[in-house]
Amino acid sequence: MKTASHNNLPIRSIADEIVSRSSIFAVCLCFLISIAPHFRNLPLWVSAIVMISVGWRCLQNLDKIREIPKWVLIPLVLFGGIGVFAEYWTIVGRDAGLALLAVMTSFKFLESRRHRDLLILVFLCYFLIATHFLFSQSIFTAGLMFATLIVITATLITINQRDDRIDIKQLLTSSARLVGLSVPLMLILFVLVPRVPGPLWGISNEQRGGVTGLSDHMSPGQISNLIRNNQVAFRVDFEDEVPAQSMLYWRGPVMANYNGTRWYRARRKGLDRLNLTVTEPAVKYTVTLEPNGEYWLLALDMPTKLVPDSLMTADFQLVSTKKINDLMRYSMESRLAYQVGENESLKYLQLTLDFPADRNPETISLGKSLAQRFDRAEDIIDAVLTMYREQEYFYTLQPPALGVDSVDEFLFGTRRGFCEHYAGSFALLMRAAGIPSRVVTGYQGGEYNDVGNYLIVRQSDAHAWTEVWLENKGWVRIDPTAAVSPSRIEQGLDNALSDDESVFR
């Protein structure tokens, strides 16, 4: 009697099995739930590819349309990759990486028929929900992703069971139990695994709109556009007590050149030594600066310390020797009471008096008349600040568009502006009155986090102010915005705006 031999029978792996229709529908739903919160972060055409691919696969699953052949699918994949590169000029980084992942996962759906294909898609969904934390780390995001995690795990259970009959309640209960069992391990890993000292990919705060932070130039409307960006610019840990809100001026690009419309930086050499007269102890703190793709480092006005791989320009702007494309952490010291620039060079002082004579004639005329009326520079400054304070000037996030003579139109026409309007017009009035002046951009204020004991400074805290040069005093900070809207400096931006303009609504 012969025994049947199974040696010649083909061994079929579960990974090669054709999956059920219910499993395919489950994975489609899983992918949509995982990717849907990202639609606001993706270009419209990428979101369209996601929806079309999932819809096509569902119809294919119902035998309504035919499967896309590989000779069509391969060019689609190539064009998708080219499209992402054309959108971002890279395929790496947070935004470009997400778009590429969404496109490639969508096309993977169109060829998924076997068990292994669905496993790959489910694992990609796990990765997708992790990418949400590259854009937001709020409690709401964490809760939403935890719920999505349960749905993905339920999908994983579905595609691995042989029975097509699905008890949704039992399935979600089993999934929640599995996820719950992983929580203790997650907490242990959170405590034991060291933090990554930078973002997962290159620059973490990319903006397709072109506004990632401060620029090396300033024109009317530029900072008010940046204010609508509520992303974190940097975080600050103070060694001792946090200074008052009104003293939190974070110094960035310094602009001494003016062409009648735009302020921009002057090229100045680095300082061999820091030459300040100080009257108070140093404020010590640590800055964690988000990637911004630029060279400037932010420091509390006035910085008195260099950080590695940086230099201090002659106008006291702290500059990195290489672009800041990764999260950067540095220790810093600043003096809140100081005197600097008493011995400024005549060449630079002349630069900070220059302005185009054929632009903004009314502003220039007003500045010259103030110089004839007052003998002391301090009196001229007070007169202009009083004008801002007592006449009908308004601080608004939505100023009207201005023409060629933008300062004239603002001062004598619209009278509605944001910090760059007031800083720019004040600096021009000072120059017309014979007082050297320049514009400084940076950030003002910040939001204190009681849980983490650190200060958060957002892009919406961007600000511009003016520095004037006074004999025997050097460069002195004057913030004309404080004359128009004291609450902006003392309490923060949102307290200075009307309810319909609030950044944090």
CA dihedral 71, 76, 78, 80 (to 10 degrees): -170
Q: Is 38 a catalytic residue?
A: no
Determine which helix (DSSP H) or strand (DSSP E) holds 236, and give its type and residue range: strand 232-238
- 3-class DSSP state of 388: helix
Element spanning 170, H or E: helix 168-192
Helix (H) or strand (E) holding 285: strand 283-289
d(CA 73, CA 25) in angstroms, rounded, equals 21
Could you give the angle at which helices 361-373 and 419-432 cross, rounded to 10 degrees? 60
Number of residues assigned to the chain: 505
C-alpha of 499 from chain center: 23
For the question of residue 419 being annotated catalytic, the response is: yes
Among the options 30, 408, 419, 461, which is catalytic? Answer: 419
- The rounded distance, in Å, linking the Cα atoms of 369 and 387 is 14
Tokens (6 digits) for 161: 């069971």
CA distance linking residue 502 with residue 505, whole number of Å: 6
**CB of 433 within 8 A of CB of 364?**
no
The structure tokens listed for 464 are 């511009």
426: nearest Cα among 473, 468, 475: 468
Residue 132 among the catalytic residues: no
Catalytic residue among 463, 494, 499, 500: 463
| Residues with active-site annotation | 419, 463, 479
